[in-house]
A = this chain, B = another copy of it.
Amino acid sequence: MTPKPRKPTIDMVASKSEVSKTTISRFLNGKYEYMSEETKKRIQHVVDELNYRPNNFARSLKSNKSGLIGVVVADITSPFSSILVKGIGDFCNERGYQIITTNTDEDPSKEREYLESLVGGEMVEGLIVNTTGKNDDLLSQLGSQGTPIVLADRAMEHLEFDTITNNNYGMTRDTLNHMTESGFEHVAFFTQAMGANSSRRIRHEAYLDFYEYEPGDAPYVYEIDTNNSRAVIESIQAFIGQTQGHTRAIFAVNGVVLLAVVRGIVELGLKMPDDIGVCGYDDWEWATLVPPGISAIEQPSYQVGLEAAKRVIARINGSKAKAKVIELPSKLHVRGSTTLK
């Protein structure tokens, strides 16, 4: 129970080692060029003895570098995000950065608040954002004021920042193609409200293109509220009603929707894939467990995180490369739910 040992400062180290703090500072920053072995050793000794660590704020104040990267995700509890954050963290920590994670709950005003608070006080050197899509203006502004920004998974309307996503369009098309080849005559598109979410929109677009529907008149697009299981079930029933006598399947726009859909199908006692096929994003752990196995698309979240981190750090270090979109490959796992006998 020591009373309250004040953290040692560079001055204490200096006086204990009987050199100036300039020398200590040199030592700490590895500038040994003109330093005698003698003093080097002495300093090392004192540093160890005091267990001295330089104060980050003083350093940051001087250098204008915090060693912090801000990460703004829409929903940290989704496997996509938590794996993304892990990828970001792994890369950043390796390079000596720490990450500040904030969770917007898909709420644009929270997003706004966090963005402002993170860059406002010079807190972070760069930003990785999984945006709600409703703060393009603010992001633009922050970017033009000099904060390096990288978008993860969801793009902005105008390409302005490096954007790491997966090949949403191509993968959706390939999956629908697989459905056709499997023999499904009608495929519905189940989605949450698409709002400004670019991934959802692109998947939707790929769906419309594949079946050559006009935007206004696609018969089997269902926007569902995943928290309302009754409504989900009703949508499934409506789709079935519209496709009597045909083979049919549901494509889920994301993992949450896929879960809700499968839940509904199980509840209705329908048999997959004969009564109805199912596939979609995302390939979460349970997809193999529910008989007959749910076909699902695995996104490279971890790699997205890694790549996003790599790009912000490059920008922080001065890269002026033109902003570009990087599409990482995802993977369709075909299972029983889309395998018609």
A interface residues, Cβ below 8 angstroms from B: 1-2, 4-5, 7, 53-61, 66, 68, 76-77, 79, 81-83, 85-86, 89-90, 93, 98-103, 114, 116-118, 120-123, 144-146, 259, 262-263, 266, 284-286, 288-291
Contact = CB atoms under 8 A, between A and B. Distances in A.
A81 to B, nearest CB: 8
A145 B58 CA distance: 20
A308 to B, nearest CB: 16
A233 to B, nearest CB: 14
Nearest to A58: B61
How many protomers of this protein does the assembly include? 2
B263 A120 contact: no
Contacts of A123: 56, 98
Contacts of A291: 266, 291
Contact of A259 (B118, B262, B266, B285): B285
A76 B89 CA distance: 10
A89 B102 CA distance: 7
Given A77-B83, A101-B99, A289 B290 contact: yes
A98 B98 contact: no
A66 B76 contact: no
Contact of A100 (B7, B99, B290): B99
A38 B145 CA distance: 31
Greatest chain B CB density within 10 A among A4, A61, A290 is at: A61
Contact of A85 (B56, B101, B286): B101
A175 to B, nearest CB: 21
Contact of A89 (B58, B59, B79, B101): B101
A300 to B, nearest CB: 14
Contact of A121 (B56, B99, B100, B116): B56
Contact of A285 (B86, B101, B117, B286): B286
A122 B114 CA distance: 23
A288 B103 CA distance: 27
Greatest chain B CB density within 10 A among A1, A7, A101, A259 is at: A101
Contacts of A58: 57, 61
Contacts of A259: 285-286, 289
Nearest to A286: B286
A219 B57 CA distance: 57
Given A77-B83, A290-B289, A55 B121 contact: yes
Contacts of A76: 82, 85-86, 89
A62 to B, nearest CB: 9
A77 to B, nearest CB: 5
A222 to B, nearest CB: 20
Rank and list the top 9 A-B pairs by shortest CB-CB distance, nearest first.
Answer: A286-B286, A56-B121, A53-B120, A57-B60, A82-B82, A57-B61, A101-B101, A57-B57, A77-B82
Contacts of A284: 286
6 contacts: A76-B82, A76-B85, A89-B101, A259-B286, A263-B288, A291-B291
A187 to B, nearest CB: 22
